[in-house]
Chain A
Amino acid sequence: MAEHAPDRKPYFWVFALLIVFTALTIWVAGLDLGPFNDAAAMIIAVTKGTLVVLFFMHVRYSSKLTKITVVAGFFWLLLMITMTLSDYLTRGWLDTFSAPR
């Protein structure tokens, strides 16, 4: 448990930022940015998630072990997604081996 003085103000700031970012992501999604739509949506979502983790979940004031644990969890998910995706993205590279679509 963090031993900082219990101050409510950061929670309200984070809340406001989260609402703003939600509105932002809805607005940005309405623009046609091609492939950058996905990137923008993910950057905003990651930012929102980070705010929740650091402030609402007190990770900003937590031990190094907690921080490593959080990072490891998300990193492992990323590992699973990227390595699985690497199969699908490279299947068509060698035409002899790809199945007809």
Chain B
Amino acid sequence: MSTDAATATLDRPNYLHDGYGWKSWLLTRDHKRIAILYLVSITVMFGLGGIFAMLIRLHLLTPDGELVQAATYNRLFTMHGVIMVFFFLVPSIPATLGNFFVPIMIGAKDLAFPRINLLSWYIYVLGGVLTLWALIHGGVDTGWTFYTPFSTTYSNGYVVSTALGVFVAGFSSILTGLNFIVTVHRMRAPGMTWFRLPLFVWSQYATSLIMVLGTPVIAVTLLMVAAERVLHLGLFDPRLGGDPILFQHLFWFYSHPAVYIMVLPGMGVISELIAAFARKRVFGYRFVAFSSIAIAVLGFLVWGHHLFITGQSVYAATVFSVLSMLVAVPSAIKVFNWTATLYEGSLSTQTPMLYALGFIGLFTIGGLTGVMIATLGIDVHLHDTYFIIAHFHYVMVGGTIMAYMGGLHYWWPKMTGRLYPGSLSKLSALLIFVGFNLTFFPQFILGYLGMPRRYWSYPPEFQVWNVLSTAGASILGIGYLLPACYFLWSMTRGPAADANPWGAKGLEWQTTSPPPTYNFDTPPVVTEGAYAYAAEEHVVGQREVQGA
């Protein structure tokens, strides 16, 4: 291990040394610093959303709901959903790993609009503050889906301020997406053609398309809800002939593609991890690249599957059901291609790879159950049960969050110039995997048995599954706390990382750890495609510190 040389890199000028003090961070235009600002903010939000999850699971230990009252329970699951969806999952990978690595991966000095990037973070914080303000005053009880007429007429929670918080956060998302689209089109280094781009960039690009096309619709829809509550302009009011289902159409026109905003970046991370830790180029590169675009486009055509039992036309529902099956195809293409990449690859089981393998398994389960509930006849029975909850947690937590953790562990040395403890990180990954499955697999069973979601109490015969789920949640919580601890430790005490601790291919590994402010000492000229691993390669580069 070349610790002396590695430590020396920590002292060299890099983006972390380019100014100290709060002004250099809060007024930065450097996409890497903005990524760190986002990392801190979304981690805080994740913690908050996690606390709500813990309270929910604790409350559900007993059938008669002894921890909180019904009205409070409604606010708990609403705030959990609002925070986790809008303030954690949607920005998570794009605003942290995307912000940090998209410019570097394409060989650019920064994103196209650095000041707009900083503005997007401030807007995100403003949205967060508004929502937290509403939360402190008692929060909202409508569910994260704000269905009318409850949200517009009958709820006496802080609907408008929460909706405003989400509205504002939406603009943060739009600006991020806009920035990425222009950057990928216009700022690629010489020789970086579209089909030489890392698949992470393709997935970020596809995600950005969704952000730009979908988010404005939920923005205006929430504005309409606020207008109805504040100005009494009854657009969804049944007394005026308004249709509450129209709200659902408009809401889900964004919120379904939003789940692809949440999972596509994760898929991009997985492509990077699989390639790096199988030391092989991703099998079927073009298929994986185009499947990202296909998911983005097809994802806009399926929203009606959230409205199957609402009174939506049966004919429209049938079309949405068929289209929903179709959208599973590009996701499956990715899973097959990742698996083919692993085949005859030179595999190593370092922590990022553990997360990647976990993702493939859990996302497959989540995705397959998605196909089940896309089936009109089945969904009639499973809608609004714990089956749905289990499904989306498998894809969002078993999928996206595993990918996010994998990405963090993979790129942590690059972002911070530090390594983290290897054994402890592997243990955490294992705890997360076990804890996750113990939390959410029982929920498939609960849903199938008929336990409704968003209920503060349940029939006693469901208790054993609820207890298992809560036990799993405790393990999962510990699993998430450990990385928080060792990453913090790593920031100041971790051993120095060299430029390429994993021996991976990619422009980000050709610059120092951490990178200089303008990313490259000399602007790169690209001459080869992504993942240009030779047929037989030994694992070169540093390993993580063994033991903690």
Contacts and interface: CB of A to CB of B under 8 A. Distances in A.
A contacts B directly (C-beta below 8 A): yes
B49 interface: no
Contacts of A90: 313-316
A87 B304 contact: yes
A89 B213 CA distance: 25
A87 B249 contact: yes
B167 interface: no
Interface residues of B, number: 19
A81 to B, nearest CB: 10
Contact of B253 (A73, A80, A86, A88): A80
B300 interface: yes
B312 interface: yes
Interface stretch (A22-30, A34-42, A91-99): A91-99
Contact of A97 (B250, B253, B301, B314): B314
B307 to A, nearest CB: 8
Contact of A88 (B185, B213, B301, B313): B313
Which residue, of A72, A89, A90, A93, has the highest number of chain B Cβ atoms within 10 A? A90
B70 interface: no
Contact of A87 (B185, B300, B316): B316
Given A76-B213, A87-B249, A99-B311, A65 B316 contact: no
B217 interface: yes
Interface residues of A, number: 18
A72 B314 CA distance: 29
A87 B213 CA distance: 21
User: Chain B binding site: helix, strand, loop or mixed by DSSP?
Assistant: helix
A83 interface: yes
B217 A86 contact: no
Contact of A93 (B301, B312, B313): B313
Contact of A86 (B245, B246, B300, B316): B316
Given A76-B213, A76-B300, A80-B217, A87 B312 contact: yes
A93 B313 CA distance: 8
Contact of B319 (A79, A86, A93, A99): A86
B315 A93 contact: yes
A98 B300 CA distance: 26
A83 B312 contact: no
Contacts of A73: 213
A-B pairs, 8 with minimum CB distance: A90-B313, A87-B316, A90-B315, A91-B313, A84-B249, A87-B313, A86-B316, A87-B312
Given A80-B253, A94-B314, A94-B315, 4 more contacts: A80-B217, A83-B316, A84-B250, A87-B312
6 contacts: A72-B213, A79-B301, A87-B245, A87-B316, A93-B315, A94-B315
